[in-house]
Chain A
Amino acid sequence: MTAQAAESRELATVIGLEVHVQLETETKIFCGCSTDGGEEPNTNTCPVCLGLPGALPVLNEAAVESAVKIGKAIDASIPEETTFHRKNYYYPDLPKNFQITQYDSPICQDGELEFSHEGDSRTVGIRRAHLEEDPGSIKHAREGTGPLDSRTTGIDRADYTLVDYNRAGTPLMEIVTRPDFRDPGEVRAFLEKLEEVLEYLGVFDATRDGSLRIDANLSLIDAEDVHDDGSIDEAVLEAANRTEVKNISSHKGAETALAFEASRQKKLVQSGREVAQETRHFNETHGNTVGMRSKEEEKDYRYFREADLPALRVSHWKEDIDIPELPDARRDRFVSEYDLSEEAASKLTSTKQVADFFEAVAERFDADLAATWVADELLGELNYRDMLITDVEDRFDEIERLVELVADDEITAKNAKETVLREMLDEGDDPDAIVDREGLGKTSGDAVQQAVAAAIEENPDAVADYEDGDDGAINFLVGQVMGKTGGSADPGEVNQLLRAELDG
C-alpha cells in the first residue's frame, strides 16, 4: 500500500475487555481465611491458601452465589452444573503454581449489559464470566530502599521480591466481553455501569484497593468492514493484529490507556507499518502503554479438571437466588412513583446507597423534599468536596435529622444548606449542635411579633412612606425586623406580619 493510501484508510477501533472483579465474601473462595487484605503480610493465610502440601480446596458457596447474582444481572445463562479446572503456570505469587479457575463450564455464559454513552443506549455482549482464585501479591525490592512501586516496572531493578499471600484465594470473577466496543469512551461508560450494577448486587466494593483490574484487547480494522448493524465478521477480527493492554485499574485509566493505544496503532497503520501482536503495559503515571518484553510463543496453560472439587449442581440457583432491583429499573420506578425528572432519578439511582437513602427520606417526609435534599443539596456538596456517598454512609441519621429540622420549619432551608450541611461535612458536627452554636433556630412567634412592633415604632418615617403608597418601604422594615431577630425569622412571614399590623 502506498503511504498515501495508508494515510487515507478509514479505520474503526475494536475493543474487548477482560474485567477482573474481587467478590465481596467474608472468607476466601477455597478456605476459611478472611478476605480482609489490609493486615500484616501473610497473616490471613492457612495451609490451603498457602498451597501447603496435602491441603485441599473446598468451595465457598457464597462466591458461587455472588456469581449467580451477577449472571442474573447480565442476563447470562447458568449451566446445569459448574466445574473447576487448573490453569498451570509458574509465578511466585501463585502458591500452587497453578490457579484454580473455570474453563469449559463457566458459571455465566452469553450475557449482556446495557449502558448509556453520550446519550445513546448501547449493549455489549458478555461472552462469559467465571470464578477463580486471586493470586497473592508481590513487591519487588532493592537492598536498602525497600519495595518498588509496580509489579512489572520494578522487576529489572529489583534485588529481591517479597510475596504476600493475604490476597491469595480471594474470589475473583473474570468477566469477558465480546469485542463490541468502538471507542475508549464507551469502555469507560460500560465500566461505570458494570461497577454500579455490581455494587447494587452487594457483591463488590469499589473502594477496595485492587478490586477492579482490567485487561483490554484493541485492534484496528477497515471502517468498511463494520456492517450497518455494527457487527463485524469473525474472520476480519481474526485477521487483525491486536494488542492486549494490561495493568489497568480504573475506568479513567481504561479510557486513557485505550485512547493512547488507538492513536498509537492508527499512526502505525497510517504510516504503512504493521501493528505487532503483543502484550502492552499501561503506565498510569505517564498515560501511555509500553510493550512488555514478552516471549512470542503462545502460553500453554495445560488446563485440566480440578478433581479435588466435585461438579456443583447450580441448575436451581438462578431461581432460588433473588437479586435487588437494578439501577435502570429503579430509575424508571423513581420517575413514575415519585414523579421525578429523568435527571433527578438518574442522580438518585447512581449508587445503591443514595437510592436507599432517598427512599428512606421520601417515606418519612415527602418525595420532593427528599429529592431536593439528597439529589441537589447532599450530592452537590459532596461532589464539591470530592467526597463519595460512602464517606457519609454512617451519618445518614444526622442528615435525616437536618431534613427533619427543615421539614418541621425549625430552621430555614437557606441556613440548613449554607451553614448546617456545610459545617456537618467540613467539621463533622451533628446538625443540632451546629444550629445551637450558630443560633439558627427560628425565633418564636412572640419574639418576631415584638420585633415587628418595635420596628414600626422606631421608624415612623418608613411607616409614613408606606402609608403614602411607597410599597418599597416595607422592605426596609422587613430588614429591620430581620436584624432584630438575628436573621432567624422567615422574611415572608415578617412581611405578612408587618402588612397586617400597618394595614389593620
Chain B
Amino acid sequence: MATEYNAYISDETIEGADEGPLAGQTVAVKDNISTKGVQTTCGSSMLAGYVPPYDATVVERLTAAGATVPGKTNMDEFGMGTTTETSAYGPVENPAAPGHVPGGSSGGSAAVVAAGDADMALGTDTGGSIRCPAAFCGVVGIKPTYGLVSRYGLVAYANSLEQIGPIAPTVEEAAELLEVIAGPDEHDATTRDHEGATEGLADAADGDVDGLSIGVPTELVDGADEAVVETFWDAIDELETRGASYHEVDLPSVEHAVEAYYVIAMSEASSNLARFDGVRYGQSGGYEGNWNESFANAREDGFGEEVKRRVLLGTYALSAGYHDKYYKKAQDARAWVKQDFDSALDEADVLASPTMPIPPMEMGESLDDPLTMYLADANTTPVNLANLPAISVPAGETDDGLPVGLQLVGPAFGEKQLIRAGSALA
C-alpha cells in the first residue's frame, strides 16, 4: 500500500486482536518502533533488513487492543530532522500541502493520517517530532509526559528526551490511542504509575474550556512568522469565545532551549548509536582491516550526513575538556527550563503557542542549512527538556492554505487537561 507521498517504508500488515477498543482501526507505526518479524529501519540504511525478534511494548498493547498495523512509516534517519527529508528511503511529501515537507521526524506517520491512508499513527517525539509533522499536516499529535508511555522497543535517539505518542485526525481519537499505549511497563524503568494519568483520556475530549486559564509565553510567539502568528491568535480568540481566558507569561530560559536541547540530544545520540557497528545486525561487515576499521567502515557506509553530524558533535560535547563547557552547561539550562515551566504553569492551566514558528517549508528548502532547521524547533524542544506533555492541534491555515498548529503544554501527567482544551479546536 505504498502511498504517493512516500509515507511508508514497508507495508507489511500486522494483524491485531479480534476485539478491543481499537478493533477495526488501522494504526501505522513509525519505523523506529520495533515490530517482531517486521523490518524496522529507523529510516536508515544502517538497519536495512533488520528484523527485530521482539515487539515494542506499545506495539503489543495496540495489537492487543484490536488495532491492525498497516505498515511502518517513513521518518528522518533515526529521528534526526524536522522535515522527513533525511530518510535513506527518500523524502515524504506533505499530503495537506503538496510540494511542501510534512515536518519531521514522524513525517510519514502524520502524512498517512492526513491522507486518510491510516486511521491513526504512532510517532515519536524527541524535540518536536510528533507535534511538528502534526502541525504541518493539519492533524493532531500528542507528546506525552516523559514516563507515561513505555519506550521499550523504541530505537533510541536521545533517551532522556523522547516519548512515543499518537497522531490522529481528532483529539478524541488521539486520546483513545494514547489511553491504549500509556501506563507503566516493567521493561522501562522510567515509566511511572501516576494516579489517574492513564484512565478516562478519551472521555476528557469534551471540548469544555469554560474557565480555562491559558498562558501565552511571549518568547514563543514573538519570533514567529507573521501568517503563523495571525492564525495562532485566531485560534486563541476561538477558545476565548468558548469561555477560556488568556494572559501573557514569561519563559526567559527558552532562548537557550534549542542550544541545550541539541547538545543533550546529540550527546545521547553519540552513545545510543554506538551499537551500530555492523557486528550483530543491519549494515554488516565483510570489510578489510581490524575491527576498529570494520566498525568505522560500517558506520561510514550505513549512516547519512545528518546522523554523522550529530554523532560527531555529540561525541565532541562529551569529550574531556569540553564536557563541562557543553554537556554540563546544557544540563544546567535544562534544569532552568524545567523551573521556568513550573512557574509559568503555576499561573495558568495550560500554555499556548504556535507549534512551529513557520509554516511548512518547501521540499528541499532547508536541507543545506542545518542551523535554520534546528531553530525551527524553538517552540517544541523546551517541552522535551522539561519532560512535560504537549499537544498540537490544527489552528487553521495561512492565507496560502498552509496548515498551522497550536501547541498546548500542560503540567506533568496533565494530559487530560490538554485533551480537554485541545478538543475545543479539533
Residues of A within 8 A of B (CB): 47, 50-59, 86, 88, 90, 92, 95-98, 161, 163, 298, 300, 302, 304-305, 307-310
A95 B280 Cβ-Cβ under 8 A: yes
CA distance A52 to B319 in the complex (A): 25
A302 B151 Cβ-Cβ under 8 A: no
Given A54-B56, A90-B292, A302-B318, A97-B274 contact (CB < 8 Å): yes
Complex: chain B residue closest to A300, CB-CB: B320
Complex: chain A residue closest to B317, CB-CB: A302
Q: List 27 A-B contacts (CB under 8 A).
A: A47-B54, A51-B280, A53-B156, A53-B275, A53-B276, A53-B281, A54-B32, A54-B34, A54-B151, A54-B154, A55-B152, A56-B152, A58-B189, A88-B274, A88-B318, A90-B292, A90-B295, A92-B279, A92-B291, A95-B280, A97-B274, A161-B291, A300-B320, A302-B323, A307-B268, A308-B159, A308-B189
| Cβ of B130 under 8 Å from chain A | no
Given A58-B189, A92-B291, A97-B275, A53-B50 contact (CB < 8 Å): yes
Residues of B within 8 A of A (CB): 32-34, 40, 42, 47, 50, 52-54, 56, 151-156, 159-160, 186-190, 267-268, 270-271, 274-277, 279-281, 291-292, 295, 315, 318-320, 323, 327
Task: Please tell me which one of the listed residues B40, B189, B274 contacts residue A56 in the complex, with CB atoms under 8 A apart.
Answer: B189
Q: Which A residues are in CB contact (< 8 Å) with B279?
A: 92, 163
CA distance A500 to B220 in the complex (A): 115
Q: Which of A54, A96, A305 has the most CB of B within 10 A?
A: A54
CA distance A57 to B50 in the complex (A): 21
A90 B52 Cβ-Cβ under 8 A: no
B277 A53 Cβ-Cβ under 8 A: no
Q: Which A residues are in CB contact (< 8 Å) with B327?
A: 304
Q: Which A residues are in CB contact (< 8 Å) with B319?
A: 300, 302
A54 B156 Cβ-Cβ under 8 A: yes
- Main secondary structure, interface of A, reads loop
Closest-CB distance, A31 to chain B (whole angstroms) = 9
Q: Which B residues are in CB contact (< 8 Å) with A298?
A: 320
Complex: chain B residue closest to A163, CB-CB: B279
Complex: chain A residue closest to B316, CB-CB: A302
Task: Please tell me which one of the listed residues B159, B186, B280, B292 contacts residue A307 in the complex, with CB atoms under 8 A apart.
Answer: B159
CA distance A163 to B291 in the complex (A): 13
CA distance A300 to B276 in the complex (A): 20
Q: Which of A51, A52, A96 has the most CB of B within 10 A?
A: A52
Closest-CB distance, B37 to chain A (whole angstroms) = 14
CA distance A177 to B247 in the complex (A): 60
Task: Please tell me which one of the listed residues B156, B186, B292, B315 contacts residue A302 in the complex, with CB atoms under 8 A apart.
Answer: B315
Q: Which A residues are in CB contact (< 8 Å) with B274?
A: 88, 90, 96-98
CA distance A96 to B291 in the complex (A): 15
CA distance A139 to B56 in the complex (A): 33
Task: Please tell me which one of the listed residues A47, A53, A57, A310 contacts residue B47 in the complex, with CB atoms under 8 A apart.
Answer: A53
Q: Which B residues are in CB contact (< 8 Å) with A302?
A: 270-271, 315, 318-320, 323
Task: Please tell me which one of the listed residues A51, A53, A307, A310 contacts residue B52 in the complex, with CB atoms under 8 A apart.
Answer: A53
Q: Which B residues are in CB contact (< 8 Å) with A47?
A: 52-54
B275 A56 Cβ-Cβ under 8 A: no
CA distance A89 to B34 in the complex (A): 25
Closest 9 CB pairs of A and B: A307-B160, A97-B274, A302-B318, A53-B155, A54-B153, A54-B34, A96-B275, A300-B320, A54-B155
A95 B275 Cβ-Cβ under 8 A: yes
CA distance A52 to B275 in the complex (A): 8
A56 B187 Cβ-Cβ under 8 A: yes
Q: A88-B271, A302-B270 are in contact. List 8 more A-B contacts (CB 8 A).
A: A53-B155, A54-B56, A90-B274, A92-B291, A96-B275, A97-B277, A98-B271, A302-B315
Closest-CB distance, A62 to chain B (whole angstroms) = 15
Given A98-B271, A302-B271, A302-B318, A53-B152 contact (CB < 8 Å): no
Q: Which B residues are in CB contact (< 8 Å) with A57?
A: 189
Closest-CB distance, A127 to chain B (whole angstroms) = 21
Complex: chain A residue closest to B292, CB-CB: A90
CA distance A307 to B186 in the complex (A): 16
Q: Which A residues are in CB contact (< 8 Å) with B270?
A: 88, 302
CA distance A54 to B52 in the complex (A): 9
Q: Which A residues are in CB contact (< 8 Å) with B189?
A: 56-59, 308-310
Complex: chain B residue closest to A50, CB-CB: B280
Q: Which A residues are in CB contact (< 8 Å) with B160?
A: 305, 307
Complex: chain B residue closest to A53, CB-CB: B155
Closest-CB distance, B379 to chain A (whole angstroms) = 23
Q: Which B residues are in CB contact (< 8 Å) with A309?
A: 189
CA distance A346 to B268 in the complex (A): 53
Task: Please tell me which one of the listed residues B32, B54, B291, B292 contacts residue A52 in the complex, with CB atoms under 8 A apart.
Answer: B54
CA distance A97 to B34 in the complex (A): 20
CA distance A257 to B276 in the complex (A): 38
Q: Which A residues are in CB contact (< 8 Å) with B32?
A: 54
CA distance A47 to B52 in the complex (A): 9
Q: Which A residues are in CB contact (< 8 Å) with B34?
A: 52-54
CA distance A228 to B183 in the complex (A): 63
CA distance A97 to B272 in the complex (A): 9
Q: Which B residues are in CB contact (< 8 Å) with A92?
A: 279, 291
Complex: chain A residue closest to B296, CB-CB: A90
A54 B152 Cβ-Cβ under 8 A: yes
Given A58-B187, A88-B318, A52-B281 contact (CB < 8 Å): yes
A307 B190 Cβ-Cβ under 8 A: yes
Complex: chain A residue closest to B46, CB-CB: A53
Complex: chain A residue closest to B189, CB-CB: A58
CA distance A300 to B317 in the complex (A): 12
